[in-house]
């Protein structure tokens, strides 16, 4: 399981030795969204994804957050497969595209996706000079049915760090750097992936904000373009505890979906 037990044990140990969380801070969160995307990923044949994650977050101690995500996946066109570092062209489907008819390579599958467990610790809080620095560890458990193309059937592990800095009173910049160790199923060889994201959030007027991000990573499948997309959206804080959000995205390379839309809500208590 490539250090899974060690990682989880380290997270639990950290929870035991760190100071207690402040009583007035939200300790629990629930969030969900509907994410729809369409793209051919360089195969000449579109694949449609609907990804609906349900995430439970808990802050047992100050600065430390654990999140568990259980997703539902709907997919039409099994030319690609989801991994912890993005999507990859399925070799058996790619070889069929040149000779088979559409009905022979297109099917619809749906069901449980890969469960994600993420632990994150704010190592350094933001100062007047330095950004907030929050490293994290994320593990993808192979709960999706690999025989139906809903996952690879292998573990993936991601180590990363989130950086954020308030540049102006209403303007916050964000940078994420991550490295994902991709598990390769039998008969396939996937490369590990380096991912990044840069963007900003602007508070137009309380409680309405807009955001824009550029997301990229290195390809995990040979011959596939590096994923790159731009994402813009907005969020509205209905109450102190409830926020709704939405975004649209546009792929800038064959490694990403051609376009996508997302909408969701988050609750803190």
Domains annotated on the chain, with CATH: 4-268 (2.40.160.40)
Q: Tell me the CA end-to-end span of the chain in Å, nearest whole number.
A: 34
Q: pLDDT tens digits, residue range 14-48?
A: 433 344 444 467 899 999 999 999 998 888 888 99
Min mean pLDDT across 71-80, 153-162, 228-237 is at: 71-80
Q: pLDDT tens digits, residue range 192-213?
A: 999 999 999 999 999 999 999 9
Classify 170 as helix, strand or coil: coil
Residue 102 CB coordination number (10 Å)? 9
Distance CA 120, CA 135 (A): 6
Average pLDDT for the chain: 85
pLDDT of residue 77: 77
- Is it the case that residue 6 has pLDDT exceeding 50? no
Geometric angle at alpha carbon 124, from 239 and 11, rounded to 5°: 85
Q: Contact, 174 vs 197, CB < 8 A?
A: yes
Distance CA 66, CA 137 (A): 10
pTM equals 0.85
Q: Contact, 260 vs 35, CB < 8 A?
A: yes
């Amino acid at each position: 399981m490539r250090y899974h037990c060690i990682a989880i044990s380290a997270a639990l140990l950290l929870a035991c030795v760190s100071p207690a969380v402040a009583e007035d801070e939200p300790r629990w969160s629930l969030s969900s969204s509907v994410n729809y995307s369409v793209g051919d990923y360089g195969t000449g044949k579109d694949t449609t994804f609907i990804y609906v994650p349900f995430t439970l977050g808990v802050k047992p101690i100050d600065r430390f957050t654990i999140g568990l995500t259980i997703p539902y996946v709907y997919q039409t066109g099994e030319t690609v497969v989801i991994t912890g570092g993005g999507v990859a062209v399925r070799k058996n489907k790619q070889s069929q595209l040149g000779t088979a008819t559409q009905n022979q390579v297109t099917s619809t599958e749906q069901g449980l996706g890969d469960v994600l467990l993420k632990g994150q610790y704010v190592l350094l809080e933001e100062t007047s000079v330095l950004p907030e620095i929050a490293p994290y560890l994320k593990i993808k458990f192979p709960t999706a049915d690999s025989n139906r193309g809903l996952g690879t059937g292998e573990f993936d592990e991601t180590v990363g760090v989130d950086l954020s800095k308030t540049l102006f009173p209403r303007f916050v910049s964000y940078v994420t750097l991550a490295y994902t160790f991709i598990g390769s199923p039998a008969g396939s060889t996937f490369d590990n992936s380096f991912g990044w994201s840069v963007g900003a959030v602007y508070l137009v007027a309380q409680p309405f904000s807009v955001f824009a991000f550029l997301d990229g990573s290195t390809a995990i499948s040979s011959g596939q373009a590096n994923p790159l997309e731009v994402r813009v959206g907005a969020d509205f804080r209905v109450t102190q505890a409830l926020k709704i959000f939405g975004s649209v995205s546009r792929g800038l390379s064959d490694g990403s979906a051609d376009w996508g839309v997302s909408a969701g809500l988050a609750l803190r208590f």
